[in-house]
Every structure is written in C-alpha cells, then in structure tokens.
Chains A and B, each alone.
Chain A
Amino acid sequence: MLGIAVLAALLPLAVSWLGFVFTVAIGKGLAALGVAILLRAGMISIGHALFFAIGAYAIAFLMRDAAIGELVTLFACATLITAAAGLVVGAFMVRYRGIFFAMLNLAVSMVFFTLLSKLYRLTGGTDGMRVPTPSLLGMELSRPAFEQALHLIAIAIMVGVALITDRYLKSPLGQALSAIATNEVRLEFIGVSARGVLLVAYIASAALAGLGGALSAVAIGHVVPEFSYWTLSGQLVLIAVLGGIGGVPGAFIGAFFLELVRTFAVGFAAEAWNAIIGISLLVVIFFLPEGLFGLLQRLETRMRGRKS
C-alpha cells in the first residue's frame, strides 16, 4: 500500500495530467469501496452513484449557498450530509436483499438523477453547477498549486480511509457482514440484528461514496446530474468486483486500473465504454471470481513460493 502511495505521489510530478487522473480514480475508489463493503454481505448496490452525486452536489451547494469555502470543512460536511442520506435511505433498504435491494438502489439513484436534471433553478439542470477552487485551511492557492495539494490530500484520504475500513471489516460488526451472507438466520439466533449490522454498513458505504464524490467535485470543478447515472454505478460495481471481495486496497487498485484504461481508451472507444465495462464485468465473473485483487494475491503467493 505504501508503495502505491509513493508511486502515486511521484508520478504526477513527471506527468502533470496523471495527477488529475489519480485524484479522480481515488474518488471513484472510495465509492467503489462503499460498494465492496456491501458486497461483503452479499448485497450488490447497482445505484451507488446516488451517494457519489449527493456528496458532489453537497460540495457545490455548500460553496454556493452556505458560503463554506474551506476544503477540509467542505469534505467533512459533505461526508456527514451523505451519511445522513445513507441513514434515511438505508433504513428502508436494509429490509431487502438480493435483486430487490439492487434494483431499489438503482431506482433511487435514477430518481435522483431525474431530480437533478429537472430542478433547473436549484441545481442548474443538465448543465450542472460550478465548483470554484476552495481555500485550504485558510490559504488561498492558485489552481495549479491547489491541484497538487489536492492530489496529496487525496492520497492521504485514501490511506486513512483504507486503514479505518480495514479495521472496520475486521471488527465483529464487519465480520458479521459476511455472516449475513452465509447464514443470516443463525446470526439472528445469536442475538444480532442483521438489519442493524447492515444499516451501519450502508451508512459507511454511503459516507465513502459521498467523500469520493466530494473529492471528484473539487478535482473536476464541476458537478453534473450524470454523477448519479447508472453508467457511473456500473463502473463502481466493476471496480468493486475487480478488487475482489477480499480487498480494501483492491478497490483503489481497481479504480486506478480502470481510470488509466479509460484515459487511454477515450480516443477510440468512448462510445462503447459501458459495453466495455459490461463485458469486463462478465469476463471477471466468469473467469476471475476473486477479482483482480485475488489474482494479485495468488501471484504474490506463487512468487513467495518460488523464493523459498
């Protein structure tokens, strides 16, 4: 993990536009991590772009209507707002499982997309809203300097979030998530509320996606309704699946991988990007059940085997 962070920090000094790609990738990685957490419990959210968009638009609204212009404050507020949304939506969602849960998430995200597109006076409609450059802890920076700082902040967030999420997944609450997937009935019989466990996970996953959306909003400087569209939800699912159910780093590795491929493919495959995501999803499901992360783990084990 440290290696990746160091790498990520060094690269953009050489190629400035890659820094932007990495920052956006971290944003999506955070959201995909949210999807991955729910995946632990066997639940697939195919509408997680909802919370990504809530976090992103929260930033835009906070800057425009609440006169909050400082980055750390903005991130904190956006994350809290999205977590609150996660609580409200989650309280309803955790009653459901399987495809019902998946489709409800998709439905809510698409309703939000429609609202964002139609409420022109409030949200700028399909044009979206501008996100001006925030200050950082009181300092006003030029855009290029800000972007460099944001890049480092993104890496710090990634590392911090990864550590916290890892601890959460190893805790009794986090382990109970996979117990829901394997034997929800037994979990209830040992006195644990599956809905309670799921609600905590749902709020956490929403907060992650919201933070990712907030990060992307600031990095891109603009928010549009497409932040809530099914296409982004699809990418998040693919990243989460690529990363494999095992890994916290997996979500970020998957996100970097996807963003890099997208950056290079945008020249000739922009029109078919969703189809590529779809096909990749099918390929990963059919041939790589543990996802990319699992593949790396197996390579690692094989390499260690060769050394000894």
Chain B
Amino acid sequence: MLANYAPLIVDGLADAALIFFVAVGLTLVFSVLHILNVAHGSFYSLGAYLSVVIGSFVAGRGWPVLSFFALVISPFLVTVALGPLIERTLLRWTYGRPEALQILVTFGLFLILEDAQKLIFGVQPYSQDTPMLLLGTSQIAGIVYLNYQLLLIGLAIVVAIGLRLLLKRTGIGKLIVAVVADQEIARALGIDASRVFMLAFSLGVFLAALGGALASPTVGVSPGLGAETIVLAFAVAAIGGLGQIEGAALAAILVGLARSAAIYFMPEFQPVVPYLVMLAVLLVRPYGLFGSIGLRRV
C-alpha cells in the first residue's frame, strides 16, 4: 500500500528540498541579524532567472551538460553581487533602529528587486529543463522516479548536514552561534559582529538563490515568483519557528508533503495548503513548532 504513495512522497520530499533551501536561509538570517528580509524571495527568483538564462545560453551553444554549471554558478553570482552590498548599505543602517524601519527597508528592497528583475529578464515566462532531462529517470521497485528529484533530496540533506557542521564544528560557525546567543557579550569578547552579519546574510542569500536555481528546471520562471516565494518561505519558517534551523527542515518536509498530497487529492487547494498548515500550527503554537516568544526583538 505504501508503495502506491511512493511517488507522492518523493514528489513531496523534492518539493520540500527546494522549500528548505529558501526557508532555511530566511530563518538563518533572522536568527543572526534579527531581521526578516522581505526581499529574500527575490534572491530565490533572481537565482532562478539567472540559472535559466545561463543554462539556455550554454544549451543553445551545444553544451547541454554545462547547464548544470549554470545551476551552480548562478547562486554564487547573485550572492557576490548582492549579498555584501545590501548588508553593508541598507541593512547596516537599520541595526539598532526601530523594527518598523527594518520592515520598511526590506519591503522597499523587495519592491525594487522585483521590478529590477522584470527590467533585466523581461516579463515572459521561461523554462530551461535541460538539467532535469539530462539526468533521466530511475526505476525503483517498479516505480519510475526523476533522478533530478532524487538529486534535490540528496542535496537538501547535504546542505542540512553541512549547515549543522558549519555551525557546530567550524570556527566561523562558532562565531555565528556566539553572536546569535548574545550579541553584547560576543562583541565584548572581541568578536567582529559586523563580519559575522555579512557572512550570515550572504549565506542566506546564497541558499535562497541556490533554491531558485535548483527549482528552475522543474517549474520555470515568471514574474511574481519572488513574491510567491517570500510568502511561502515565511510560512515555512514560521511553522518551524523563526530562527530555528531544525524547525525549518521539519516544516519544509511537512509543507512539501502536504502540497504533494494536495496535488494528488485536492488540486484546487494546492496553492493555499502551506498557509492552512501555518494557520493550524500557529493556532496551537503561536511562535511555531520550535519557536519561542524570546525570539522577538525587544
């Protein structure tokens, strides 16, 4: 019986993988900088668009294998171009200022990036599914799966473990944990919090753009992707508890499976399923599964 649901589960987990990338970036930035970046979804869509453009370019030139390269290089390009720039100029100005300003700044940034994307990449929807086609399919226990989906799930696990190792084992990770735990004390100990902020923010941008790039072969890109994504990423991060990385992972799985189930059983509800889950969770646990009231900036 379970085997009948295997495709649903794999679809759900692959969806969850993409959601995880963008949601964990959002929640990570929140936990370190105490900023919920409304423009986070725009990094996702920029990563997707760039990856499609580069991928189409190389595929058109007769090197389809390089479309994988596009998936990898796009997040780096987006991060390098925007990460430190935005953190240094816009975000730094908001530290220590009332939270309302922070919301307005990131919201303004969101508006700007959405239109910038339209101006750069146009309003036509694109798709570039070469990487997905290239990987082909596998048959496991009589059911056919897209290898690309399996790759996504594998990558998500790698990233999740990688983040955990980064935070617990590496030097820079320990700096981040220290700053998250208590900024004042961290600074007093001589930790350069500004550098940590910039790194954490850039990592968040990278994760979002990576999610977008990896998603682009499966769904393609169109204007409005950024807005859809930030709302979804927020819902997932909220379900897990803002700032909680494990929460984001669990929430991503929950939402991915829920969406997948909806597609199979009640397709009209599919777009609103994540928000119904969010509503249900927040009614019972107002700050998410692993969240707590202390995470609000006082």
Q: Which of A95, A96, A103, A275 contacts B111 (CB 8 A)?
A: A275
Q: Judge whether B104 and A99 touch: CB under 8 Å.
A: no
A211 within 8 A of B: no
Contacts of B98 in A (CB 8 A): 42
A276 (CB) vs chain B CBs: closest residue:
B115
Question: Hey, what's the 0/1 contact readout for B103-122 against A, CB within 8 Å counting as 1?
Answer: 11101111110111011000
Q: Judge whether A98 and B38 touch: CB under 8 Å.
A: no
Contacts of B110 in A (CB 8 A): 278
B210 within 8 A of A: no
Known: A115-B272, A230-B227, A286-B93. A274 touches B115 (CB 8 A): yes
**Closest chain B CB from A159 CB (angstroms):** 29
B296 within 8 A of A: yes
Q: Judge whether A44 and B38 touch: CB under 8 Å.
A: no
Contacts of B100 in A (CB 8 A): 39, 42, 44, 98
Q: Judge whether B268 and A285 touch: CB under 8 Å.
A: no
Of residues 162 through 191 on chain A, the ones whose CB sits less than 8 Å from some CB of chain B are none
Q: Which of A106-114, A212-220, A299-307 contacts B (4 or more CB under 8 A)?
A: A106-114
Query: Cα distance A104–B282 when bound, in Å?
Result: 11
Query: Cα distance A271–B235 when bound, in Å?
Result: 29
Contacts of A97 in B (CB 8 A): 296
Q: Judge whether B105 and A282 touch: CB under 8 Å.
A: yes
**Closest chain A CB from B77 CB (angstroms):** 21
A61 within 8 A of B: no
Q: Which of B36, B114, B238, B242 contacts A274 (CB 8 A)?
A: B114
A286 (CB) vs chain B CBs: closest residue:
B93
Question: Hey, what's the 0/1 contact readout for A138-167 against B, CB within 8 Å counting as 1?
Answer: 000000000000000000000000000000
Q: Judge whether B103 and A44 touch: CB under 8 Å.
A: yes
Contacts of B114 in A (CB 8 A): 274-275
**Closest chain A CB from B101 CB (angstroms):** 6
Q: Judge whether B103 and A281 touch: CB under 8 Å.
A: no
A273 within 8 A of B: yes
Task: Select the residue from A92, A99, A278 with max chain B CB neighbours within 10 A.
Answer: A99
Task: Select the residue from A97, A115, A285 with max chain B CB neighbours within 10 A.
Answer: A285
Contacts of B286 in A (CB 8 A): 95-96
Known: A271-B115, A273-B115. A111 touches B275 (CB 8 A): yes
Q: Judge whether A278 and B109 touch: CB under 8 Å.
A: yes
**Closest chain A CB from B117 CB (angstroms):** 10
Contacts of B90 in A (CB 8 A): 282
Q: Judge whether A277 and B111 touch: CB under 8 Å.
A: yes
Query: Cα distance A39–B275 when bound, in Å?
Result: 25
A76 within 8 A of B: no
Query: Cα distance A44–B36 when bound, in Å?
Result: 13
Q: Judge whether B115 and A100 touch: CB under 8 Å.
A: no
Q: Judge whether A285 and B296 touch: CB under 8 Å.
A: no
Q: Judge whether A100 and B238 touch: CB under 8 Å.
A: yes
Q: Judge whether B104 and A278 touch: CB under 8 Å.
A: no
Q: Judge whether A110 and B227 touch: CB under 8 Å.
A: yes
Query: Cα distance A96–B296 when bound, in Å?
Result: 10
**Closest chain B CB from A37 CB (angstroms):** 14
Q: Which of A44, A107, A118 contacts B268 (CB 8 A)?
A: A118
Task: Select the residue from B93, B98, B103, B278 with max chain A CB neighbours within 10 A.
Answer: B103
B288 (CB) vs chain A CBs: closest residue:
A100
**Closest chain B CB from A257 CB (angstroms):** 17
Q: Judge whether B104 and A241 touch: CB under 8 Å.
A: yes
Contacts of A231 in B (CB 8 A): 111
Could you list 25 examples of A-B contacts with CB < 8 Å? A39-B100, A42-B100, A46-B38, A96-B286, A99-B35, A99-B103, A100-B242, A100-B296, A106-B230, A107-B234, A110-B228, A111-B271, A118-B271, A229-B227, A231-B111, A271-B119, A272-B115, A272-B118, A274-B112, A275-B111, A275-B119, A278-B110, A282-B105, A285-B108, A286-B93
Q: Which residues of B contact A (CB under 8 A)?
A: 35-36, 38, 90, 93, 98-105, 107-112, 114-116, 118-119, 227-228, 230-231, 234-235, 238, 242, 268, 271-272, 275, 278-279, 282-283, 286, 296-297
